[in-house]
Structure 1
């Protein structure tokens, strides 16, 4: 049995397409986990517990690597704390709050806007050139996002308004894009060590949010289902996804690996329909096509150095 598992692990470790497809599947599953968490574990409690569990696992495995590079990263800790707060704590907290107010289908499609936010952020932060194809891609993705946010009636946006959950998810995407843009100037250490360093920072910065939530009227401690959801997001969208993604990048490079990120909204929508029975309306299909098409155009029009590689924490 042990030998069979070892051979299976070796085959998986040498199969970048499978590794990266599983990564996207697990990240898409996070949208389902957010829905299942409603009423079972608070969004801020889930955020804190997620990163606390991830920290315990990663530090056991890779803490020595972080200690070895500590003299290099210590002077840059304020920036690293900001990155963890934006990309890990704030993104996940808003993600799980949004899950209380919108569907997993919407969350998955809106999450597809992150690469476009990264493109825009890279332009303002580093002056990265935006070509014609990229501009068309940005517009297509924005139209897809508007279709989702207005439930297929963009001409009635003023009268309908925007679902608060969709608005929170877009804010979460913008914050995660800010973190991604900042990755360009992260310390020159391994991705594994950097992730191990960021996880406990995320747990610490999420602790005040959890304490605030715990002191709020009507707070309920996590149920058994809540703990199972927490365990799922700690193991699959967090640890395994990050490790699989880093290995995929090592095997085929960040550019080709980044294409697999486009599968996240597809998997999220499919899982939401199959597992949660959520409706998939015509405007979801059109929006998904616009978002994926926009990302495809933006990537085709990007110079290799224009957009930083994306390391997700969904």
Structure 2
């Protein structure tokens, strides 16, 4: 299997797992009365303990290698930025957006990250966006407009808070997609994910203090938490972040469209979330945007 095919399968598989996890998160918020400030700290901490625990028994020396300040202090700094500003805040903002809207809206707003990656690449390469890249930016803006207003200039179909959380979430995707390249060249992706989750879980427990909320999940809620942890954290991040180095962040962003599609289908069929023609048009605009942004890789230019 070529790296391109393997990378595509890994990123699509990871994205689909995120979609399943997002739909489960919507179920927990709407049917089990959970709160994102309770769910996310527990989700991150459990996932981090699972992955770090695996490496503790598999290779204890490798587990602590990224924290060897004397060997390379940049690794410690990179891991802190990647784990906290990237992965952890992405997780919190993603589930906050779901709680404020739907899983489909949250995932499609998160998928605006390729436009931000494009802008970062243009700055790094000191060039202006090409014509098709400008078209992709306009399509992204149009897609967001259709999703959030349903064509009305006087009202929003989603709350301003959900829109803001989703857009900032897209910024954090840029961080965890582009920042860890040097770390990934030295350490296994699941190990980096484990530390990122553990850092975020510890930090959010200190910030939100979920043990003071008095919430006790039902048996179904516990199963939902396990799905969110095992499918949405451990499996999804490991698959996606293993695929990105093989095909590059731009092409990976195209295949990650499996996430909003999965989330929208499941939330509509299983949870009864509305999905209108305006939503379909918005999804279509953002999908075409992703196709346009994959053109450099498809035309022979190296994926960045």
Superposed, 1:161-172 pairs within 5 Å as 162-172=159-169
TM-score (norm 1): 0.79
Deviation at 1:41, TM superposition (A): 2.8
The TM-score, its normalising length taken from structure 2, stands at 0.81
The Cα offsets for residues 111-160 of structure 1, whole Å up to 9 and x where unpaired, read as: 2212222222343466465322112111101210121122332x335x88
Q: Distance in 2 between matches of 1:129 and 1:84?
A: 31
Give yes or no for the alignment of 1:224 onto 2:219. yes
Q: Is the CA contact (8 Å cut-off) linking 1:43 and 1:97 kept in structure 2?
A: yes
Conserved? CA contact 2:105–2:147, under 8 Å: yes
Q: Counterpart in 1 of 2:139?
A: 140
1:26 to 17, 24, 43: 17
Ranges in structure 2 where 5+ consecutive residues have no aligned partner: none
User: How many residues matched?
Assistant: 288
8 A Cα contact 1:66 1:196, kept in partner: no
Question: Structure 1, residues 224-278: CA drift from partner, whole Å, max 9, x if none?
Answer: 333222211110011122333355567x644655532122111111111111111
- Structure 1 stretches (4+) deviating beyond 6 angstroms? none
Is the 8 Å Cα contact of residues 19 and 245 (structure 1) preserved in structure 2? yes
CA displacement at 1:214 relative to structure 2: 4.8
Match in the other structure for 1:194: 192
CA change 1:257–1:272 in 2 (3 A) is: same
Give the Cα–Cα distance (whole angstroms) in 2 for the partners of residues 59 and 95 of structure 1: 23
Q: Distance in 2 between matches of 1:231 and 1:15?
A: 27
Structure-2 separation of matches of 1:161 and 1:37: 20
CA distance in 2, matches of 1:48, 1:127: 39
1:176 counterpart = 2:173: yes
How far apart in 2 are the matches of 1:192 and 1:268?
Answer: 24
Q: Give the CA RMSD over aligned residues.
A: 3.0
Distance of aligned partners of 1:74 and 1:227 in 2 relative to their CA distance in 1, 3 Å threshold: farther
